[in-house]
Structure 1
Amino acid sequence: MPAADHTPDTRLDPNALDLELSLLLSSTAPSGWRSAVEEAAHLLSEGYAGDRAAELHTLALLLFARTRSGDRTPRDVPVEELVQALDDPTAGENRVTEEIRQALAATGQYDTQRSPGDEPPLLRIFRPVSNRYGGPIPWSDEWDPVPPGPSPLDRAAKRLVSYLSTCQPGRRDALSRVPAVGDGPLYVEADRLFMASQTSLVPPSCVGGCPSHPRRLTVDGPDVTFVCEGCNTRRRSRQLDPAQVRLALARALGVAPSVHGSYSVPGVLHIALAEMPRGADPYMFNWFLARPKMESPGKIGRAKR
């Protein structure tokens, strides 16, 4: 059971459309990306559910690829054109994958020479949706690599063809149901930060060599960055997922997960590691926080330091 001073918010939807939009909208993305995301969300907003995130990502990337030259807006791209592009009867990788890849390269968003922690935001969005191996490439033995399977984009394309083919002609002219999501990063500061797995509570460490534990985070689209006050070192975190940070802040302060701007959390902020299911509440799964009659989170933090 959760600690006595923590009340889990069961109303939080970890797959809500506004949260998903905040994970796509980066302040460093090229011009035209935001309008592509918003138009994709508009087309999919009727009955949107969390299991349609891959469709949202795929459609936004395709709309961006088709309009990056600036000669038309995402709203100008006919639904019939989108269906025709996505409806690929051939086996293997859907043909729009290469079109998107070329569009990202042309806009400086496909720089694969950078380290994984320094990739452009659209590449960070494109990689997982186009991954045909479900993660790092597995090998059955030294000489027999496991063949690739359908990527989330491949599967989303088929669902999009079915969905968009039934769109009513007036759908795009209807009042948008897309929730408003503000511009700019989210800045989070807490007295103490802890990253939570099922069996551990670990403060982030500074990579600059100082003994300080970062207390500030910046969330910008798909990226989470630690900021160390001791030496002003900044580094992207591969242990934290932006959705988990946003949901932790929402539980702590009662704000919407899609907020932007600066927020300060008094006391300790516990954030589920990226490996945990999205929306997992550390007070419900972490061995230290979920134990009955446990000490306060602050005391746990001091004991773990």
Structure 2
Amino acid sequence: MPVDVLRGALDTPEGEEPRELRERVKVVVDATGMYSSVRGYTPLGQVWSDLTYQWEPSGEPMADMEPGPSPLRHSAARLAKYLTQMNATDVASLPEVSPPAGPVTIPVTGWVRVVSPDASLPVQCGTCRATAGGSVALDGPLALFVCPTGHCTDDPKLEASRVRYALRYQALPDDEGDKGFRLADLATQSVEESLRFLGLADVDTPQPEQRDLLVASTRIAPNTDPRRLSPADRG
């Protein structure tokens, strides 16, 4: 988005809520699946909810008292002030925005397991109860388990960020020096690069070797290596 267009979108009279900006962003956030009956608020939805919250007096209604300012009002004002101070040289030096990765499908030849130090729980199809095979479909903040029959399951145990970390760790050899792959590479390696490393890129049929996809539980940090969490015998 050009900086001039962004300046215009943030143009709000001082002391007022950026209502037009709020409605424009809400349309985009809603389109990503901000809230679901299964998961509640998505991570993006929770951020948006916190950003647009306005304090109101509790107890008896007080018609003469306006709601408090939202964090969005202050954030938009600070960003507008910063953009106003930018000159043409500043704008030209801004880094290019990477294109979105888009939806990604991760084929799974074994089970998808959500692991923690004391448990290993398989993700199960909500329709036919299948656990082995299928795939995980990632699209922005959404992660769905797709069984071999094609049923889609929105399991609260699966979070998109944790699945992405899981894929990167699965491509990381136990010996960090093997094939020149280092832990630092986790910060830059894309999902597509991880798939190619595992030999799963552009694959239409399951691989002959059964392999589980281990995902860290929501009870622990999302960047935890799930291979180090559960016992060797996960059956």
- TM-score, length-normalised on structure 2? 0.61
Q: CA deviation at 1:216?
A: 1.5
Provide the identity percentage: 21
What is the rounded CA distance, in whole Å, between the counterparts of 1:244 and 1:118 in structure 2? 15
Equivalent of 2:31 in 109, 117, 126: 109
Asked if 1:258 corresponds to 2:190, the answer is: yes
Map of 2:7 onto structure 1: 80
1:35-78 deviations in Å (ceiling 9; x for gaps): xxxxxxxxxxxxxxxxxxxxxxxxxxxxxxxxxxxxxxx32744
* SS of aligned partner of 1:226: strand
Whose helix fraction is larger, Structure 1's or Structure 2's? Answer: 1
2:222 pairs with 273, 278, 282, which one? Answer: 278
Amino acid at match of 2:217: L
Shift of 1:245: 0.8
The whole-number CA distance in structure 1 between the counterparts of 2:68 and 2:120 is 36
Q: What value does the CA root-mean-square deviation take over the aligned residues?
A: 4.4
Residue 173 of structure 1, CA deviation: 3.0
The 3-state SS of whatever aligns with 1:196 is strand
Question: What is the CA–CA distance in structure 2 between the aligned matches of 1:212 and 1:250, rounded to whole Å?
Answer: 22
Change (3 A) 1:116 1:134: farther
Query: What's the counterpart of residue 119 of structure 2?
Result: 200
Are 1:205 and 1:214, in contact at CA under 8 Å, matched by a contact in 2?
A: no
Residue 89 (structure 1) aligned with residue 15 (structure 2): yes
Counterpart residue identity of residue 279, structure 1: N
Query: Tell me, which stretches of 5 or more residues in structure 2 are unaligned?
Result: 54-58, 61-66, 173-185, 201-206
Q: Distance in 2 between matches of 1:247 and 1:151?
A: 33
Structure 1: segments with no counterpart, 5+ residues: 1-73, 136-142, 290-294
Residue 151 of structure 2: aligned partner: 233
Which position in structure 1 is the counterpart of 2:141? 222
Greater C-alpha Rg: 2
Cα separation, partners in 2 of 1:212 and 1:193, compared to 1, 3 Å = closer
Question: What is the CA-CA distance between 1:195 and the residue it aligns to?
Answer: 0.7
Deviations 1:117-170 (A, max 9, x none): 699xxx9686323213999xxxxxxx89xxx98766456435534543443333
Distance in 1 separating the partners of 2:73 and 2:126 = 38
**CA displacement at 1:241 relative to structure 2:** 1.7
Are the aligned partners of 1:188 and 1:262 in contact in 2 as well (CA < 8 Å)? no
Q: How many residues end up aligned between the 2 structures?
A: 197
The 8 Å contact of residues 130 and 147 in structure 2, kept in 1 or not, is answered as no
Secondary structure (helix, strand or coil) at the match of 2:50 reads coil
* 2:76 equivalent in structure 1: 157
User: More deviation in 157-166 or 210-219?
Assistant: 157-166
Report the Cα offset of residue 279 of structure 1. Answer: 1.7
**Taking structure 1 as the reference length, what is the TM-score of the superposition?**
0.49
Indicate yes or no: 2:90 matched with 1:171.
yes
